[in-house]
Amino acid sequence: MLFGKCGKSGLVALKLDLAKVVEFVKARLGIEVEMGGCKAPITTFIVEPFVPHEQEYYLSIVSERLGSTISFSKCGGIKIEENWDKVKTIFLSFEKPMTFETCASLIDTFPFEVRGNIGDFIMVVFSVFQDLDFSFLEINPFTLVNGEPYPLDMRGELDDTTAFKNFNKWGNIEFHLPFGRALSPTESFIHSLDEKMSASLKFIILNPKRRIWTMVVECGASIIYADTLSYQAELSRIL
């Protein structure tokens, strides 16, 4: 289930006993919801212990062309977007190492006694982000338990083009499709080939009922070509 804003969609419940959990899940499992313009049924729920807390924090890392953007806020949780003006952001280029001084501006309003723990937490998360080739990682929210950071919810996106070098680290991880999408047999076959080699093999059916089927391939040319088409609504695939 690859989508965010679960809380705003009524898909998160807190402080429930087992009977209430079963009731909550049964009432929503299989129900079709719309996320980002795509509709699909809810198939999976995660049940985990509740951690009592008062304050929620936000941390995200996004891979950019020349480095990484790191965002942090003391106003995390379900209303992070409404409080986006309170988010602090830094950009770290690839040639610069992550140090405590680098992220100091993100946490300079914290009490001194917990500032070190949060700074260490950000550095460790960034190290994992780089080591496992994440392209996006968001911990929203995390809290402090006895002064130590404790993630409450997280979502991440791995760069699947690095699977050939990370298979030992990633283990048997599965790359799920975007919410509401299923692969055709042809797409599945080409996707399986793509996973086994360092070359990039892509085939995406946009709309099998449309009439424009491009033949341009190699070095991203198909994407550039697709972007210039005057009849994009009629485009059927991307190679």
Domain boundaries, the chain: 6-42, 56-161, 185-236
Each residue's pLDDT tens digit, 128-147: 999 999 999 999 999 999 98
Residue 167: pLDDT band by 50, 70, 90 thresholds? confident
Exposure pattern of 97-120 as b/e (b: 16+ CB <10 Å)?
Answer: ebeeebbeebbeebeeeeeebbbe
Residue 26: pLDDT band by 50, 70, 90 thresholds? very high
Helix (H) or strand (E) holding 237: strand 237-238
Q: Please give the average per-residue pLDDT across 105-112, as a whole number.
A: 90
| CB hemisphere CA count around 164 (13 angstroms) | 10
Q: Between residues 232 and 123, which one has the greater pLDDT?
A: 123
Are 161 and 200 in contact by the 8 Å Cβ rule? The answer is yes
Q: Between residues 35 and 21, which one has the greater pLDDT?
A: 21
Residue 235 has pLDDT above 70, yes or no: no
Q: Please, what CATH class does the domain formed by 56-161 belong to?
A: alpha beta
Between CA 194 and CA 86 the distance in angstroms is 41
What pTM did the predictor assign? 0.72
- Helix or strand or coil: residue 36? coil
Q: Quote the mean pLDDT of the chain.
A: 83
**Sequence-ordered strand ranges (E) for 6-161:** 32-35, 38-41, 57-63, 67-73, 88-93, 134-145, 148-151, 154-158
Lowest-confidence pick of 63-67, 203-207, 210-214: 210-214
Residue 190: pLDDT band by 50, 70, 90 thresholds? confident
Peptide bond into 41 cis (omega under 30): no
Each residue's pLDDT tens digit, 70-94: 999 999 998 899 999 999 999 999 9
Q: Between residues 212 and 53, which one has the greater pLDDT?
A: 53
- Copy the structure tokens of residue 220: 């991203």
Q: Between residues 21 and 31, which one has the greater pLDDT?
A: 21
Maximum Cα–Cα distance for the chain, whole Å? 64
Q: Between residues 128 and 195, which one has the greater pLDDT?
A: 128
Q: Please give the average per-residue pLDDT across 28-36, as a whole number.
A: 80
Give strand pairing partners of 60.
Answer: 71, 138
